[in-house]
Amino acid sequence: MSAAPLPNLDAARPRSGATFEHRPSLDGMRAVAALLVILFHAGVPYLTHGYTGVDVFFVLSGFLITSLLVRELLETGQLRFVAFYARRVRRLLPAALLVLLVTAVAYEAVASPVAVSQNRGGFIASALYFANWYFLAQSQDYFAEEAHRSPVQHYWSLSVEEQFYIVWPALVLGLVLLSRRYRFRLEWAAGALAVVGAIYAGILAESSPMASYFGTGARAYQLLLGATVALLILRWERLESHRPPPMSRVAGPLIAAGGLALVLLAGSPFLGTGSPYWHGIGAAAGTGALLLGLELAPASLTGRVLAWGPARAIGRWSYAAYLWHWPVIILGDEVGALPHAWFPRTLIVVALTLALSAATFHLIERPTRKIALRTSPRQRLVAAAGIAMAVTAAFVFSAVLQVDARAEAVVRQADQDAGKPVIVAKKEAGAPTMLLAGDSHAHYLYPAFARLAAKQGWSLVPVTEDACPWPRVQATADRAVINCDDMRRTTLQAAARYHPDIAVLMSRSIVKRPLLIDGNIVNPGGPGWLGEVERGTQAFLAQLRPLVGSIVIVSPLPETEEPMVDCLASGGDAADCSAPATHRPGTAPLDAYWRSLPGVKTISLDGLICPEGMCPAIVDGIPTHRDTNHLTVDYSRHLAPRLDRYLRSLGIDLGAGAVRAG
């Protein structure tokens, strides 16, 4: 497909040749991005937002791809789509599939059957470049946080880039044609799209933080920002005198240094926000400024530092380093080879990652880049081969990542979903009503309450939202605030409508999720945490009390250090797989506070679920837990009669809608 030369970029006579020349400092920028991510995942203090290295990569990708596409248009007057995709296949696919294959074989060898069963879908999604959408679906399932971490979750960012590569050449061509007709500057159009994309990502971050993090549309502004910088620089290059803007000798070094400083600041906690969105904005803006500064003053101190030999080497290996670092961490943890202390852990992770990435660069990436793409038949062949390799890899991963039938049966039983809780209507007009509200622990105890309600004839009104504590606090996930206001609002609306005799409130996420307090993320049990929970508890109960008869708060449920289902799936028996009960930091003071509340009955289900401090792996032939703390659906239903007797012993008669004080 061809197009006329770019309008509005030839303000004067074009320079001879628009071929993109490699800039050593860009390798240094890649090194910074890769090291931010690697050190963040290794657990280095003060790089608590080092995931922003991915934001840097996105801006760089938008910059480089747009530079290549537009220069091709200027040189030839056309865009060769098949050639573009063939180059992407040659550049990215061999190393990506190699790391996936090696990781799959190693993971099958060392991981538990439960881990393999839970994570094999991620390998297939990564091979087919829709990993971001797959992991977004997983992240929206609260139990993804209790599951084994996927060794290929980092492939989500590669999927975003590939999806961008699919549409961006056509969009560039469309913008060119529109700019010819309506005579607007391409850099203005790309910049406007970037601003719109940033606003969209910010709005999405408020309502769905994980969609803002993983979604392709929410990341488009970063790629478009890189494109905007590329178009602006290209305009400067095509001026007849090729003179950069005035004051560039002074402004260039300052812009470059400021951009690099902002990139590093965005990866730290010192930016003053716990939001990945705002840290991403900072990293993207810093990268854009750095690119501009390096163009204005390539010989500045910042440019020379980024062009330093070791930085350039790591930058050349950065793609492979990004691919390898996460499997190194996950597999190392699976076999117990990585220490918990951050310093030795980081040394081991960095050393192994750089060794593997150097080997991959020299043995895979460099040779495959030499594959000739000069003719159209060769380009079509390479592009088609890439598609075939990705599809074949997906089938290979399905064959490699297998678990035996017994383990699969255990996993299937444990993974059964409770489904969406629905209202169980009372059988008689005078029967009591119970409101069950809370997070996933309420969700997975719902089958027991539903069975009791159906048997005894009373009404059950459930309001549950995974990962949402009922106290009015700002819980976080992956440093993003979870929007739980809707769950609390729905709970109060249900209470106002049904006027329940008993309201049962459950939350384990209150001691699982860090809270955002005065702009700082505070872990459960940390300074100021209990005070914030107390304020949130009082605020919610003040609204709930007038609407209900009695309030019962269930203390955070007990859990185990390791999932008992892993042991069962690996062939262990009930006695061997049972485990001692544990509680998370903050549980004891929280429980003491809740028990001190007047007019509220706080109870513990420890004696029911883990009698005498021991959690049974199997009861009456049924696995009890799906992970370290959530009950299985089958066991929840099986627990119903015992739950009723246990609650009656604590002074709570669900069938009568009565709560005895004391």
Residues 378 and 522 in one domain: no
Residue 533 contacts residue 510 (beta carbons within 8 Å): yes
- Rounded to two decimals, the pTM is 0.86
Predicted pLDDT of residue 662: 61
Residues 446, 563, single domain; the answer is yes
Report whether pLDDT(210) > 80.
Answer: yes
The answer to whether position 7 is within a domain reads no
Residue 327 and residue 353 in one domain: yes
Q: 428-470 pLDDT, tens per residue?
A: 888 999 999 999 999 999 999 999 999 999 999 999 998 899 9
What are the structure tokens assigned to 264, written together? 């590093």
Task: Provide the pLDDT for residue 355.
Answer: 97
Q: Which of 103, 34, 99 is nearest to 332 (CA)?
A: 103
CA 152 – CA 106 distance, rounded (Å): 12
The residue among 319, 440, 59, 220 whose CA lies nearest residue 212 is 220
Asked if 35 and 257 count as a contact pair (C-beta separation under 8 A), the reply is no
Q: Who wins on pLDDT, 493 or 183?
A: 493
Longest Cα pair distance anywhere in the chain, in angstroms? 90
Residue 39 lies in a domain: yes
Please determine, for residue 525, whether its predicted confidence score (pLDDT) is greater than 60.
yes
3-state helix, strand, coil in the chain (%, to 5): 60, 10, 30
pLDDT in the model for residue 483: 83
Helices (H), 129-239: 131-139, 156-182, 186-207, 209-214, 216-237
Q: pLDDT-based confidence at 14, cuts 50/70/90?
A: very low
> For 306-320, 516-530, 573-587, 616-630, which range has the lowest pLDDT when averaged over its residues?
516-530
Residue 476 domain boundaries: 416-659
User: Could you read off the pLDDT of 313-326 as tens digits, one per residue?
Assistant: 999 999 999 999 99
| Whether residue 1 has pLDDT greater than 50 | no
Domain membership flag for residue 166: yes
Helix/strand/coil for 623? strand
Residue 411 has pLDDT above 80, yes or no: yes
Quick one: 398 and 434 in the same domain?
Answer: no
> Are 302 and 260 in a shared domain?
yes
CA distances from 12 to 9, 15, 24, 92 (A): 8, 9, 29, 37
Residue 144's alpha-carbon distances to 211, 421, 455, 485, 569, in angstroms, are 15, 19, 33, 22, 18
Domain count, the chain: 2
Q: Is residue 409 part of a domain?
A: no
390 shares its domain with 255: yes
CA angle 546, 547, 548 (to 5 degrees): 100
Judged against a pLDDT cut of 90, whether residue 269 lies above it is answered with no
Q: Residue 479: what pLDDT?
A: 65
Q: pLDDT of 111-157, one tens digit each?
A: 989 899 989 999 999 999 999 999 998 875 544 556 689 999 999 99
Reading the block at residue 128, the tokens are 């087919």
Residue 28: pLDDT band by 50, 70, 90 thresholds? very high
367 shares a domain with 497? no
pLDDT at 537 over 70: yes
pLDDT at residue number 15: 41
Query: 384 with 424, same domain?
Result: no
The reply to whether 384 and 512 lie within a common domain is no
Residue 104 tokens read as: 């799959």
Among residues 587, 579, 564, 640, the alpha carbon closest in space to that of 610 is found at: 579
Q: How many residues does the chain have?
A: 662
Strand ranges for 415-559 from DSSP E: 433-438, 459-464, 476-477, 480-481, 502-506, 515-517, 520-522, 550-554
Collect contacts of 568-571 with beta carbons under 8 A, ≥24 apart: 568/410, 568/617, 568/618, 568/623, 569/112, 569/113, 569/114, 569/117, 569/403, 569/406, 569/407, 569/410, 569/411, 570/112, 570/113, 570/407, 571/406, 571/407
Q: Which amino acid is at 393?
A: A
What was the pLDDT predicted at 5? 40
Rounded Cα distance, 328 and 334, in Å: 10
Are 516 and 483 in a shared domain? yes
Domain stop point among 355, 377, 403: 403
pLDDT for 97: 97
* Stretch among 245-254, 410-419, 458-467 having the lowest mean pLDDT: 245-254
Based on the fold, state whether residues 385 and 440 are members of the same structural domain. no
Looking up residue 534, the CATH number of its domain turns out to be: 3.40.50.1110
Cβ contacts of 584 within 8 Å, gap of 6 or more? 508, 511, 512, 524, 525, 556, 559
Would the pLDDT of 46 be above 70? yes
Is 249's pLDDT higher than 90? Answer: no
Q: Which range has the worst mean pLDDT, 179-193, 194-208, 281-295, 576-590? A: 179-193
Encode pLDDT of 281-314 as tens digits: 999 999 999 999 998 888 899 999 999 999 999 9
Which secondary-structure segment (H or E) carries 615?
A: strand 614-615
Residue 566 has pLDDT above 70, yes or no: yes
Any domain includes 408 = no
Is residue 426 domain-shared with residue 365, that is, in the same domain? no
Residue where a domain terminates, one of 345, 370, 403: 403
Q: What pLDDT is stored for residue 246 in this prediction?
A: 62
Residue ending a domain, choose from 403, 433, 465 = 403
384 pLDDT band (50/70/90 cuts)?
Answer: very high
- Evaluate whether residue 5 is within a structural domain: no
User: Of 521, 480, 439, which Cα lies nearest the Cα of 209?
Assistant: 480
Asked if residue 9 is part of any domain, the answer here is no
171 falls within a domain: yes
pLDDT at res. 245: 62
